[in-house]
């Protein structure tokens, strides 16, 4: 079966309240569930007169069902959270690129801030199957916002929990915690932009391979509208390959987060200083 994205109808099979505003939904859609790769996403068409789809990262994927872990933060996520079980949802997926797996014997640290954890279930599953030494660093503002641990814990990797307010685990950020851990060979990150910038900075400083999955406001979700770009180094693998614009002195190019990503290597990204 072809793993390229398809326009499908998914059925909402269960909805589970995780924390105030946080939901874990399971949708039945065999094509997405069977072909989703770590960090890929779906684009959902929700009722309510919205002009564009809601893109959401695929959290879990098993048999014919995939899971979404998300927070109500706008009208479309609020609408999704309110849909009753049994609802039929138009779904395009799986979309975007995927995390590349480490080589055998490499040590992995996964760094997830807040809902960034949702990018990692599929990766953790593959790391487990490949017997890769993995540590998961999870951070959130406070204990109630530490969502997503339930599913990841099943793989048995060690956790490092951090909260800004110290209500659980280490008080401080995931980056603080990462600095005190043994050096990793490969880092994976997903979470707020400032966290990812710090992670990439740390990775580059120590010469560690680092892949991050970025979040952006998407228009088309397919790569046609060029609305969700990120700065990458000119000539890097995910750059457009377009010639340099006249008068443009910066050594950067704009790649599409939805189509060329959402996963980018820290070596490619150019962060605002």
Could you give the angle at the alpha carbon of 71 between the alpha carbons of 69 and 75, nearest 5°? 125
- Check: CB of residue 140 under 8 Å from CB of residue 155: no
Does 254 sit near another protein (CB under 8 A)? yes
Least separation in angstroms between CB 197 and another protein: 14
**CA of 92: how far to CAs of 6, 74, 221, in Å?**
5, 20, 9
The reply to whether 156 sits near another protein by the rule CB under 8 A is no
Least distance (Å) from another protein to the CB of residue 7? 5
Separation between Cα atoms, residue 118 and residue 38, nearest integer Å: 10
Q: Is 246 in the site for another protein (CB under 8 A)?
A: yes
Q: How far is the CB of 35 from another protein (least distance, A)?
A: 12
Find the binding residues for another protein in span 25-84 (CB under 8 A): 45, 49-53, 76
Q: Which of 81, 83, 181, 225 binds another protein (CB under 8 A)?
A: 225
Q: In terms of Cα–Cα distance, which of 14, 52, 11, 8 is closest to 31?
A: 8
Specify the stretch interacting with another protein by CB under 8 A; choose among 143-151, 159-167, 173-181, 238-246: 238-246
Question: Which residues make beta-bridge pairs with 61?
Answer: 66
Element (H, E) at 62: strand 61-62
Q: Is 155 in the site for another protein (CB under 8 A)?
A: no
Supply the Cα-derived Rg of the chain in whole angstroms: 18
Interface pick for another protein out of 11, 87, 236, 240 (rule CB under 8 A): 240
Interacting residues with another protein (CB under 8 A): 4-7, 45, 49-53, 76, 90, 92, 216-230, 240-246, 248, 252-254, 259
């Amino acid at each position: 079966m072809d793993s390229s994205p398809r326009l499908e109808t998914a059925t909402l099979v269960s909805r589970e309240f995780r924390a105030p505003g946080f939901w874990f939904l399971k949708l039945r859609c065999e094509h997405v569930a069977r072909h989703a790769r770590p960090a890929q996403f779906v684009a959902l068409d929700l009722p309510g007169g919205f002009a564009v789809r809601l893109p959401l990262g695929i959290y879990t994927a098993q048999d014919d069902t995939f899971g979404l872990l998300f927070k109500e933060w706008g009208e479309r996520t609020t609408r999704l959270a309110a849909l009753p079980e049994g609802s039929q949802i138009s779904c395009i997926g799986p979309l975007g690129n995927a995390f590349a797996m480490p080589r055998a014997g490499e040590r992995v640290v996964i760094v997830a801030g807040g809902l960034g954890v949702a990018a990692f279930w599929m990766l953790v599953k593959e790391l487990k199957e490949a017997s890769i030494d993995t540590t998961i660093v999870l951070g959130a503002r406070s204990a109630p916002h530490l969502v997503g641990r339930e599913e990841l814990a099943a793989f048995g990797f060690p956790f490092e929990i951090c909260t800004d307010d110290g209500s659980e685990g280490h008080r401080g950020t995931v980056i603080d915690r990462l600095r005190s851990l043994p050096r990793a060979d490969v880092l994976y990150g997903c979470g707020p932009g400032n966290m990812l910038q710090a992670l990439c900075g740390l990775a580059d400083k120590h010469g560690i391979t680092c892949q991050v999955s970025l979040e952006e406001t998407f228009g088309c979700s397919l790569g046609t509208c060029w609305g969700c770009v990120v700065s990458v180094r000119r000539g890097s693998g995910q750059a457009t390959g377009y010639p340099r614009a006249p008068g443009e002195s910066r050594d950067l190019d704009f790649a599409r987060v939805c189509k060329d990503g959402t996963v980018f290597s820290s070596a490619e990204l150019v962060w605002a200083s």
